[in-house]
Each structure stands twice: as structure tokens, then as C-alpha cells.
Amino acid sequence: MPRLTKNEDVCITCHRCETICAWVHEVVFNPDKGRVIVDLDYPDEHRLRICIQCGRCADACPMDAFYQDFNILTTSEQGIYRLDESKCTGCGECIEACPTKVLQFYPDRRVPRKCDFCLGQPMCARYCPTNALGWVLM
């Protein structure tokens, strides 16, 4: 089964992953709207934050707005977690529960941005120039 992997040692902080993610999902070249986050800390440390599909967002949601899509499986052979925006009330419980803190609200809507692994073709991994992000079959 495929898995999104990260190798922060080879990340050059170009923000291409964030930018391509925003383009695929929002049709804007704005890294702040991506579902992948490159944190920069002074002076030379950085961290890639990606959704690990742990399901804590789904467990925390009082409206059952998250569901598992078994068309795309993770290494544990569980479906990826996706958001049904029509059920989301914007309470923020999922954002508080996210262990990687990658879930964030859209600034103009009260729903979180949720990684969907680009439905099995993650563009962040495809366009990463150093393979800091990868889509690996396990």
C-alpha cells in the first residue's frame, strides 16, 4: 500500500510542495493555502508537516464530518480520512486534535483544509525537486 513519506534532511525549503498543493486544490499559487506545511525556524532548521491519516480529526468531530475513503488505502490498509464540508460546522475540534497541526481553517470559510493525498497521486511528492516528500509503496 502507498504511503506519503518525508525526509527533512533533503528539504531545501523551496515551498514547491505547498504551492503545488494550493494550485491543485484552490487554483492559486499561494503556499499559505496548501495542505502541506514547511515550518521554518531560525537559523537553519525546518520541519515538514503532513497529514499522517491517523483519524484523530474524525474521532474529535462531533458532526461526523470526516469519513474514510477506502478507494485510497494507507499502509495500515485503512482508507484515507476525507472531509464532508456539508456536515462541518466549523467548531475546530478536529484542528485541536490534529497531532501534526497540519489542519487549518480556510481564512474565508469555517472548514479545515484536509489532505486527501490528491486521490492517490500526491502532487507535493511528484513535484518535490529533492524527493523530500515521496509516495512510496510499502
- Whether residue 134 is predicted with pLDDT greater than 80 in this model: the reply is yes
User: What's the pLDDT score for residue 60?
Assistant: 97
**Which grid cell sits at 33?**
493555502
Eight-state DSSP code of residue 16: H
The per-residue pLDDT for range 13-38, each reduced to its tens digit, is 899 999 999 999 999 999 989 999 99
**What phi and psi values does residue 102 have, to the nearest 5 degrees?**
-90, -25
Q: Where are the beta strands (DSSP E) in 58-111?
A: 66-73, 79-83, 104-105
User: Would you list the domain boundaries of the chain?
Assistant: 2-131
CATH number belonging to the domain at 2-131, selected among 3.30.450.20, 3.30.70.20, 3.40.630.30, 3.40.50.970: 3.30.70.20
User: What's the pLDDT score for residue 89?
Assistant: 94
Rounded Cα gap, residues 45 and 50, in angstroms: 17
The per-residue pLDDT for range 84-110, each reduced to its tens digit, is 999 999 999 999 999 989 998 877 888
